[in-house]
Structure 1
Amino acid sequence: MGRLCQGALRRPEQVLDYVGRYTHRVAISNNRLIDIEDNAVRFRWKDYRHGNRQKVMTVAADEFIRRFMLHVLPEGFHRIRYYGFLGNRYRAQKLAHCRDLLGMPVPEPSDSRPAKDYRDRYEDLTSHSLRQCPACRQGQMIIIEIFDGATGPPPYWDTS
């Protein structure tokens, strides 16, 4: 966290409140929407090129939706990226330092048993086996080949 907030964040609740405001936000908040009428959307935006001034923009409703959808991630993608104290390289050391600063105890070590295979978890939840042949119900399915994901050029996103 930057220098501006170091003094204000003294308790874990304050840290959580501060970070929570920034990790699960939508592309545009309701308080920036001014009005929607005649198939047009008017909203406030910040012009970083001209001294961070607030300006108003009006766009057609379909253009507004197109721009909004550019911020919606495809299924399976995660918006939160881990950097700073949650970055992989020094995560353990930085989390330990955070715990020291916040006066928190070291957590108990987690259970070291190997995790169940996804096929076992699926069978526990559905009572259907992914290992058993779906045709004859007698043979056992085995993996003979794993295909790489589809390759090709990345999709072109027009952000204008």
Structure 2
Amino acid sequence: MEYVSGIKLRTIFLHNGNWWKLFIKHHNLIRIDIITNVLKLLVCRTSFLGYHLFICPKCHKTIKVPHSCKSRFCSSCGKKSTDDWIKNRFDTLPNTTWQHITFTMPSDFWVFFWYNRYLLNLIPALAANIIKDLSKRNGFLPGIFLAEHTFGRDLKRNVHVHLSTTIGGLSLSYDSWIKNAYFYHDSLKKMWKYKIITLLRNEFKQNRLKLPPHLKYIKTYSAFYSWTTQFYIKTWNVFLNQQDNNMKHNVDYLGKYIKRPPIGETRIKKYDAKFVTFEFLDHYTNTKNLMTLPVLEFISRLIRHIPDKNFRVIRYYGFLSNRLSGKLLPIVYKLLNMKNVITKKVYTSWRQMIMSVFHYDPLNCPSCKVPMLYSYSVFQVSSNLISMHKEIANGYFQLI
């Protein structure tokens, strides 16, 4: 397990009251889910969230182990979630050939998903159904998992879908494994383009689509239909990675890519109280670049990608879907000669993480060198975070 180092987001948010300044300035634009996740980040691994108390049976020395925030916005908790996901997926995903596909859209469309956030819930199924429909024509049901991102490497808005699919799949009669399937780039691009444009047109027709200010002049469906038609002739990028049958490589790569938060703390290279400099990979040049932003602009770009509560970032389709996996995965394992599949989920504890990185047991008494015993726990209600927003934002809480 790699240790996450770098300039801490908590430091940037708390220093000079940066987060509180941004909140006061734009409080009417900041969603409650953003506030909650930021506050969780700020008090992660502090006694504000409660703690477990352990005691030495010999000298009676005690230590408090503060609770983590478990927010996807938190780099530390996000990394733990990623590591656990990789372990569990490596044990349960079919050991076969996979392909990673990225569905993007023109930047002109991104703003619709900011003004109509419910649309973000509709995009994943559109991408998955393209693969399912093409697979059905070839007589099989694929296994699919995907993640929807709203950010690019430079933290700008960039709505896109990362999808991984088996190349081949379970026959429609569920009695054989179909191999050597192929997805054609042009077909994927045309179907994706049609589905996104049709989605926006249908939402406008049903009077559900809120338009951004620069498109307020569009009053009728025919006018909106005409405006969207231009995007049929514009370039849409759908990226197909090489097919890969290295299971460990697939899970490691996709897990770190799909589960990652908008920015890892290792990418933050400098903070001087006024500006934040971070590193990002430019996919077009395949080079690492540095970007420097005013600190409040950096925070603003970062927090807008926090998903709404209960939004499922990772989703499963085909024979991996929640509805079918219980019935079909055992059949898939048998057809692929996968034996002794571990289906029970594993989770990495705080203690295991410390031992794997620093090679010592944090629950051994530092004086007596014997294992400390669990005594009791103290829990804090998460609703307390909102009621103490100002105090937390200004650092008025105990670290331990």
| Band of TM-score, shorter chain | 0.3 to 0.5
Name the one with the larger helix percent.
2
TM-score normalized by structure 1?
Answer: 0.47
Query: Which protein, 1 or 2, shows the higher relative CO under an 8 Å CA cutoff with sep ≥ 6?
Result: 2
Name the one with the larger strand percent.
2
TM-score normalized by structure 2?
Answer: 0.22
